[in-house]
Amino acid sequence: MNVNATMMIAAGLASVISMAAPAVTAAAESEGQITILYDAFGTDAAMTKDWGFSALVEVAGKRILFDTGDDADIFAANVKAKGVDLTRLDFVVLSHRHSDHMAGLSYVLSVNPMVKIYAPKEGFGIFGSSLPSSFYRKDESLPPEMRYYGGKPPEIMKFGAAWGAAHFELIDQTTEIAPGISLIALVSDAPGTRELKELSLAVNTPDGMILVVGCSHPGIERIVEAAAAINPKIHLIAGGFHLVAAPDDVIARVTTSLKDKFKVENIAPGHCTGEPTFAALKTAFGDRYLYAGLGTSLPLAPTMGSGMRRGEVPELDDLSVYRKLASREDGNRYRRGAIAFGVRCTEWMAFRNGEATV
């Protein structure tokens, strides 16, 4: 074969390969692990179960802290029990403003005050915000002492964060913050959390999307749809699906949608997913249901690790906790359960008001 023919074949092969390659950016590596640092179910005796969520996501060469739990002291103890070094983080993601996801931030900042923190951009929110001063109506007939800023407002008005010295970067729309690593920004329209903004972490790996969700207030299906727009191959979803009080028909619809419509390959539900949803997903996904209780480390790989503990049912203690939280027949029992376990989300308030929370 002469040189020209060889070059033509090579060029042809290259064009086929480039046609087959996905148009989206894939992160360099798919391997890593997700370690659950905060949740209300699990079997690790060295860690404290509490309502809330946090996970250390090590993927694509990055160490990402996703959410920080409900109580700074418990979060600190769980982090130490797991031997996690929070001084070595690429960044933190706070999914949303509910305190069961961000109360541990004060501990993070005590050991790593300079870390970059991505959070949803909310008007007058606790992560800080800003607005052009043109947003408010002016009345030039008033004397200066009755006018805001004496009638000369700054062009941009800044509103403080609850953690004044923290390095927040506020996200308003879905953004690729590093190659292959996106934050999906959506807004809830569910009663009780209407207008709540939430970020989900979507990492585009050669094995498909790895999606980490906090509470899924905008709806797990909407979040998955947004991730699938980046890469339709959904390799793993971990985190809270917010179906803790959902009726069976809604759980069945979402389960079918995740399995058959989006063809999610592996599922590792936790936090506000809910006991009956754990059961439904376990039945639907079988050994592709990955147990993700407090303290679990989920290895990330093309075929999700063989030595991994899969699909275990929660312990009896955990079941009784969830039953208290999820009871729809007895509002007082639900309320007491919610308060006892420090539910800071608005699930029980919406329930009390007779509103669906999904």
Which residue number, 262 or 348, has a Cβ lying nearer to Zn ion? Answer: 348
Among 110, 212, 219, 211, CA closest to 166? 110
Cβ atoms of 155 and 132 within 8 Å: the answer is yes
Least distance from Zn ion to the Cβ atom of residue 214, Å: 6
Which residue number, 67 or 207, has a Cβ lying nearer to Zn ion? Answer: 67
Say how far apart CA 72 and CA 93 lie, in whole Å: 16
Least distance from Zn ion to the Cβ atom of residue 272, Å: 5
Which residue number, 53 or 168, has a Cβ lying nearer to Zn ion? Answer: 53
Which residue number, 96 or 235, has a Cβ lying nearer to Zn ion? Answer: 96
Least distance from Zn ion to the Cβ atom of residue 120, Å: 12
Q: Is the dihedral of CA 163, 168, 173, 178 positive or negative?
A: negative
C-alpha angle 19-23-24 in degrees, rounded to nearest 5: 155
Query: Residue 209 is inside which H or E element, if any?
Result: strand 208-213
The set of residues, in sequence order, having a beta carbon less than 8 Å from that of 41 and lying 6+ positions away, is 49, 270, 293, 294, 314, 315, 318, 321, 322
C-alpha angle 52-304-184 in degrees, rounded to nearest 5: 50
Task: Assign 286 to helix, strand or coil.
Answer: helix
Which residue number, 259 or 324, has a Cβ lying nearer to Zn ion? Answer: 324
Half-sphere exposure of 27 (CA within 13 A, CB side): 24
Which residue number, 37 or 300, has a Cβ lying nearer to Zn ion? Answer: 37
Which residue number, 49 or 288, has a Cβ lying nearer to Zn ion? Answer: 49
Please name the residue ranges forming H helices in 115-201. Answer: none
Half-sphere exposure of 344 (CA within 13 A, CB side): 15
Least distance from Zn ion to the Cβ atom of residue 134, Å: 33
Least distance from Zn ion to the Cβ atom of residue 346, Å: 7
Least distance from Zn ion to the Cβ atom of residue 147, Å: 39
Which residue number, 100 or 275, has a Cβ lying nearer to Zn ion? Answer: 100
Say how far apart CA 6 and CA 310 lie, in whole Å: 50
Least distance from Zn ion to the Cβ atom of residue 307, Å: 30
Token pair belonging to 357: 């929370």
Least distance from Zn ion to the Cβ atom of residue 90, Å: 24
The set of residues, in sequence order, having a beta carbon less than 8 Å from that of 283 and lying 6+ positions away, is none
Least distance from Zn ion to the Cβ atom of residue 220, Å: 13
Which residue number, 52 or 208, has a Cβ lying nearer to Zn ion? Answer: 52
Token pair belonging to 55: 């996970």
Phi first, then psi: give them for residue 296, nearest 5 degrees. -70, 140
Cβ atoms of 201 and 93 within 8 Å: the answer is yes
Binding region for Zn ion (CB under 5 A): 98, 100, 215, 345
